[in-house]
Amino acid sequence: MTYEELIPIIRKLAIEAGAKIMEIYNSDNFDVKVKSDDSPVTEADEAADALISAGLRSAFPDMMLVTEEQAESHSAKGDTFLIVDPLDGTKEFVHRRGDFTVNIALVEKGVPTRGVVYAPARDRMFYTLADGSAVEETGALDPNVIGATTPIKVADSDNSALMVVASKSHRDQATDDYISKYQVKDSKSAGSSLKFCLVATGEADLYPRVGRTMEWDTAAGDAVLRGAGGKVVRFDDHSPLSYGKDGFANPFFIAYAPAVDLKKP
């Protein structure tokens, strides 16, 4: 597998999965089930997962694949793999708030190096090019025709007036306590992996996550942010966030533009 082969395929699969998700999102009603960890899952999650998984397995049959909706993949072991969250932000989807994404990423030696984040209800599409740089694609977002792309880059942050983004569904006192360590110009809430992308485009400087996440929630946004010059580190010791961990669970983390003067917990 080369990056030149990978990028058009994951871009196309993300857009096709987004179309399936929006069909269900715009329907009069849809079923919501509860998984063993009490998180919601809908027919949109399952339809998007089936499409993406089939596409990736067909194109890259020898590559380890981890996907949220296939529990058997969660016991896989390795530091190089494809990882998918077919519908990140299911709570946002269920409540029809729009901040949900399709996430597909490549992890190599524990580092997310390439990825795509597509927010179909927001018409926003972010991904890494073959060279690892990050772009936002605008226009029709046709799965078969790559449209105009704009390079994205993190902000040259002003530490006396930071823009902070935090979780819409999981914001808590611990998050607010950490944010209070900074001089904040404005704070906004967003769902799903869009928070990484807002840092990647310079629309925010800092995204702290003091709460449970899994690697499929973060890998694609992490790859896009790295491609835009940003960083993602552990909350506790500011070491780089690594992937391929046992069970694919993340520690708390901070995503940020490098000009931000990071504070200790």
Among candidate residues 4, 126, 9, the one with its CA nearest the CA of residue 61: 9
**Binding site membership: which residues?**
68, 85, 87-90, 217
For residue 257 the two structure tokens come to 């533009």
For residue 109 the two structure tokens come to 């030696």
Cα separation of 20 and 16, whole Å?
Answer: 7
Buried b (16+ CB within 10 A) or exposed e, 182-197: beeeebeebbbbbbbb
**Binding site membership for substrate: which residues?**
68, 87-90, 217
Cα separation of 27 and 246, whole Å?
Answer: 38
Query: CA angle 113-88-68, nearest 5°?
Result: 75
Q: What is the dihedral of CA 98, 250, 50, 33, to 10 degrees?
A: -60
- Specify whether the CB–CB gap between 229 and 199 falls below 8 A: no
Instruction: Give Cα separations from 229 to 4, 74, 79 (angstroms).
Output: 21, 30, 23
**Binding site membership for Mg(2+): which residues?**
68, 85, 87-88, 217
